[in-house]
Amino acid sequence: MMITSTTVLAILSSAIASPIPNMKRAGEVQGFDISHYQSDVNFESAYDGGLRFVYIKATEGTDYTDPKFSDHYTAATDAGFIRGGYHYAHGTASATTQANHFAEHGGGWTNDGRTLPGMLDMEGSCSGFSDAWVKEFNTAYHAKTGRYPVIYTSPAWWKDCMGDSSAFVDTNPLNLAHYASSAGTPPGGWPYYTFWQYNAASEFGGDSDVFNGDLTQLKKLATG
């Protein structure tokens, strides 16, 4: 089943009352995100430590594939994680080409209850990015997978580079990059975040993330 804005709202509506603080508490779902910079991740220890999801860098630009993606993805799967790939976007290159490259090299999606929709990492240079660019990426990625990607961004970047656009509230879940004790107000008119990256120092490597809901809701997001 394809995910729609209505589906996303239904999945997460019970989890949006307040920001999740930078501490563990009952009911929240912790995770992390990694790339080849974290070459030796002990996924079993991470799972035993309470983490339940991971986003793994798959691709960048039009032709780069992360050299550790396959190893990381296999190990995360074996350890029991709900997992997905992410793509580091280049605004000056074709959005369609990047979406296809991503979907074909780790960013795809299957309705297995364990695969998260791919994540579009939007940070760095503003050059080339616009609503039209993201809509083109959305269209191509959706054609390949039947899902719309999660958008990863910070409030400052989204305001500076995308004019605080609210064009994607109804299609793309938000992974909010905000290193603070509370998530604050999401940019772009999103009424809540789906994921919150709250620091860059996970004890298991990479960045620390939390899902804005319980494990059942996370599995529903993975199911579509």
Give the separation between CA 125 and CA 134, rounded to whole angstroms: 15
- Set 123, 136, 170, 214: catalytic member: 123
Give the separation between CA 165 and CA 168, rounded to whole angstroms: 8
Q: Is 209 a catalytic residue?
A: no
In angstroms, how far is the first alpha carbon of the chain from the final one? 6
- Set 28, 60, 66, 121: catalytic member: 121
* Pairing relationship of beta strands 174-177 and 150-153 according to DSSP bridges: parallel
Q: Is 164 a catalytic residue?
A: no
Give the separation between CA 222 and CA 133, rounded to whole angstroms: 25
Angle between helices 131-145 and 95-104 (to 10 degrees): 30
Q: Is 28 a catalytic residue?
A: no
Give the separation between CA 149 and CA 67, rounded to whole angstroms: 22
Amino acid at 13: S
- Set 33, 60, 66, 207: catalytic member: 33
Catalytic annotation, residues:
33, 121, 123
